[in-house]
Chain A
Amino acid sequence: MTDLLTPVLTENWGKDKSWTYDFYAQHGGFEAAKKALKMKPEEVMNTVKDAGLRGRGGAGFPTGVKWSFIPQANPKPKYLIVNADESEPGTCKDMPLLLASPHLLLEGIVISAYAVNCHQAYIYIRGEAAHVARRMQAAVASMYEHGWFGKDIQGTGFDLDVTVHSGAGAYICGEETALLESLEGRRGQPRLKPPFPAVEGLFASPTVVNNVESISTVPSIIKNGVDWFASMGTEKSNGFTIYSISGHVARPGQYEAPLGTTFRQLLQLAGGIRKGHQLKFFTPGGSSTPMLTEEHLDTPLDFEGLAAVGSMLGTKAMQTFDETTSVVRTTTRWAEFYQHESCGKCTPCREGTQWLVQILKKLEAGQGEEGDVDKLLAVCDDINGLSFCTLAGGAVSCVTSAIAHFRPEFELGYTTPAWEAFPYEKSALFEGGVK
């Protein structure tokens, strides 16, 4: 029986100088890269494929399969891009990973680049995290100093350059084709697919875009093997992952556990809901994944388990709210987030998210009109699936799932401000609340 928590990526977090090259090298670092560089690239790729590693950035696409889409016969350079634009509300696992154990990602880059025959990798870090950029810049420099990056790495004849690139504040750049536009020095607006990045990505060349956690997981798979990885998790969701628990819980934080762990188990580890309160709702994988309630406490938090209850695993970010919280308020704020972050390219998303905010703000202020809730749902219907990327879909999921669970609370917005029904100061973590 696997233990409840299985720290692999988080194992060395918090230890003295954990972010330095020497620490990493002295704690089992680079064993996997040394092993991989002696294998054939396709063997490395097949190992990751056979292990069943699925993308940890939200979509859950099998990482090794994604790599296999790179057309090796294409004479253009191949690019590997690490998506460190962590911005999905609730998601807070990649930033601490990069702060505490940056070399885990960098070793993963060596192995992954080797597998797809890539000689130039980029790490695209959201711009609003200075210390993360700092630690990554230093870590990349240390890899060059020790012959892991550059020409003929470790005498293998394999060349690999890695560039750290900071963004400048745009959630949409977490979408892989918007990220590519951004990295080409353009507005971060998603591209129409196909062509997919594997065929025409950065500079119209074959490109793999993977999440920080996915690439950071690769070294442990190479080091310990396919069976080891598959011994954790569930049938179709193999391995371990970092679950991020935030909000009204006694001990918010990062919990690394096998996929398929339930929220009941995690919540217990996190000390339950803060004292004297009860769970009202939670998002299983960031605000774009339909919210769930107490009845879903025993749902396995894996790709299949959450799909079965009409939600998604997403980024495994459980934003947790207790009974003091106005769901109209949180939904309004999330809608404002999507409105703010819509890149403006597709009309249904650009305009639709604004309509959602207008109606929701009225409801929050208790100035809604009879029929507004249905109007919200109708607007959602007019947005959903009609844009290039899934940003608008996230906005829709967040609104429709909230209404599905708490419709009367939205209808209360025809007469009563949310702050009267749910005094906001009661939700705050300190005395004195709002206004």
Chain B
Amino acid sequence: MAQSNIDEKTIEELKQIMARYPQPRSALMPMLHLVQSVDGVVSQRGIEVIAELVGITEAQVQGVSTFYTQYLKHPGGKHHIGVCSTSLCAVMGGDALYDRISKRLGVDEGTTEDGMFTLERVECNAACDFAPVIMVNWEFMDNMTPEKADKLLDDLEAGRPVKPTRGATITSWRDNERLLAGFYDGKADEGVSAGEASLAGVEIARENNWSAPKGEAK
């Protein structure tokens, strides 16, 4: 069995998550995110600890963790690369990007031997106006091209800072798993307000002086 990093501090934090909800089981999903941030995978130890804290069986915890695609059964790499492969992104170039990255990393939906990258095809990530889209640790890398993808991997491999098009500077997949567990990382002020495509309509409206009608008197 793989080593687990879950310690007293983790257990304390798992309890903090439970305290957010009127029923402890509601905390299951953020708890699983936290376990991943600590162990890099939904570890056996994590399953045991959650089952005990919540008061359900290990099978019940596993039943939930295997349902959701973000919970990994095998250890994830330092960075998670999700290439959108649903129709629109795929057609706009997502398929080509996936093939290129897969060839370069030598993995097809899996983790590189050095533990640097986990590559996955992801389903529509709600950024279709920025297609084709790649998610790095669930941060948006919009309007990707083969050149940009090459540079992205070069920079990540070299440990150079990478700024998403809409998000906070990339650190690691595990750091963001902690964020998804509800532990704020203090980085909301990083990144833009909105990307270019998000502003397409509002900019045209500003140019033309278009607006909603004036409201009635208060």
The minimal Cβ–Cβ distance linking B159 to chain A, given in whole angstroms, is 20
Known contacts: A87-B126, A90-B124. The answer to whether A253 contacts B201 by CB under 8 A is yes
A414 within 8 Å of B (CB atoms):
no
Interface membership of A195, Cβ < 8 A? no
Assuming the A-B contacts A95-B127, A184-B23, A425-B96, are A319 and B87 also in contact, with contact meaning beta carbons closer than 8 angstroms in the complex?
Answer: yes
Q: Are A91 and B92 in contact (CB under 8 A)?
A: no
Which residue in A7, A15, A35, A167 is a CB contact (below 8 Å) of B193? A15
Give the docked Cα–Cα distance between A416 and B57 (Å): 52
Closest A residue to B185 using CB positions = A134
| B33: A residues at CB distance < 8 A | 127, 166, 168
Q: Which residue of A lies closest to B138 (CB)?
A: A130
Determine whether A392 belongs to the interface, using a CB cutoff of 8 Å to chain B.
Answer: no
Does any Cβ of B come within 8 Å of A19's Cβ?
yes
- Inside 8 A of B75's CB, which chain A residues have their CB? none
A341 contacts chain B at the CB level, 8 A cutoff: yes
At the interface, yes or no: A224 with Cβ under 8 Å from chain B? yes
How many chain B residues touch A (Cβ–Cβ < 8 Å)? Answer: 87
What string of 1s and 0s marks CB contacts (under 8 Å) between A3-14 and chain B? 111111011011
CB-defined contacts of A18 to chain B, threshold 8 Å: 193-194
Q: Is B117 an interface residue (CB 8 A)?
A: no
Residue B52 is within 8 A (CB to CB) of chain A in the complex: no
CB distance from B167 to the nearest CB of A (A): 4
Q: Which B residues touch A245, using CB under 8 A?
A: 129, 200
Chain A residue at minimum C-beta to C-beta distance from B88: A319
Asked if B198 and A169 make an inter-chain contact with CB atoms under 8 angstroms apart, the answer reads no
Question: Which B residues between 172 and 218 are near A, CB-CB below 8 angstroms?
Answer: 176, 179-182, 184-185, 187-189, 191-205, 208, 210-213, 215-216, 218
Which one of B20, B88, B200 lies within 8 Å of A251 (CB-CB)? B200
CA distance A128 to B198 in the complex (A): 18
Q: Could you tell me if B67 and A187 are in contact, using CB atoms closer than 8 angstroms?
A: yes
Tell me how far the C-beta of B7 lies from the nearest C-beta in chain A, rounded to whole angstroms: 23
Bound-state Cα–Cα, A120 to B194, Å: 29
Interface residue tally on A, bucketed by range:
35 or more
A432 near B: Cβ within 8 Å?
yes
Chain B residue nearest to A136 (CB atoms) is B188
* A331 CA / B182 CA spacing, docked (Å): 37
With A5-B210, A10-B202, A337-B86 as known contacts, state yes or no: A427 contacts B124, CB within 8 Å: no
A428 and B92 contacting across the interface, CB-CB below 8 Å: yes
Within 8 Å CB of A252, what residues of B?
128-131, 197, 200
| Chain A positions within 8 Å of B21 at CB level | 163
- Contact at B68–A99, with CB atoms within 8 Å? no
Q: How far is the CA of A120 from the CA of B63 in the complex (A)?
A: 28
Q: Is the CB of A20 within 8 A of B211?
A: no
Chain A residues within an 8 Å CB radius of B213: 2, 6, 228, 231-232
Given A7-B212, A188-B68, A254-B129, does the pair A330, B91 have CB atoms closer than 8 Å? yes
Whether A7 lies near B87 (C-beta < 8 A) is no
Which of B8-16, B24-32, B107-115 faces chain A?
B24-32
For residue B210, give the distance in angstroms from its CB to the closest CB of chain A: 4
Closest approach, in angstroms, between the C-beta of A263 and any C-beta of chain B?
14
| Chain A residue, CB-CB nearest to B164 | A131
A137 within 8 A of B: yes
Q: B107 to nearest A CB, angstroms?
A: 18
- Residues of chain B within 8 A (CB-CB) of A4 are 208, 210
> Is A256 touching B202 in the complex (CB atoms < 8 A)?
yes
CA distance A127 to B72 in the complex (A): 14
A330 to B191, CA, bound (A): 33
A10 to B181, CA, bound (A): 29
- Chain A nearest Cβ from B162, distance in angstroms: 14
- Residues of chain A from 138 to 190 with CB closer than 8 A to chain B in the complex: 138-139, 141, 163-171, 182-188
Query: Is B73 in the interface zone, CB < 8 Å from A?
Result: no
The reply to whether B93 and A428 contact each other, CB–CB distance below 8 Å, is yes
Would you give 18 A-B contacts (Cβ < 8 Å), ordered by A? A2-B212, A3-B212, A5-B208, A13-B194, A14-B194, A14-B198, A99-B166, A166-B33, A168-B29, A168-B70, A169-B69, A203-B22, A252-B128, A252-B130, A257-B201, A337-B87, A429-B145, A434-B95
Q: B residues near A, CB below 8 A?
A: 20-23, 25-30, 32-33, 54, 63-64, 67-71, 82, 85-88, 90-93, 95-96, 99, 122-132, 135, 137-140, 145-146, 164, 166-168, 176, 179-182, 184-185, 187-189, 191-205, 208, 210-213, 215-216, 218
- A residues with a Cβ closer than 8 A to B are 2-8, 10-11, 13-20, 31, 35, 77, 86-92, 94-96, 99-100, 120, 126-131, 133-135, 137-139, 141, 163-171, 182-188, 203, 220, 223-225, 227-228, 231-232, 240, 243-248, 251-257, 269-270, 287, 317, 319, 321, 325, 329-331, 333-334, 337, 340-341, 343, 424-425, 427-430, 432-435
Please name the 5 residue pairs, one residue from A and one from B, whose CB atoms are nearest each other, closest first: A253-B200, A224-B215, A185-B28, A138-B188, A255-B201
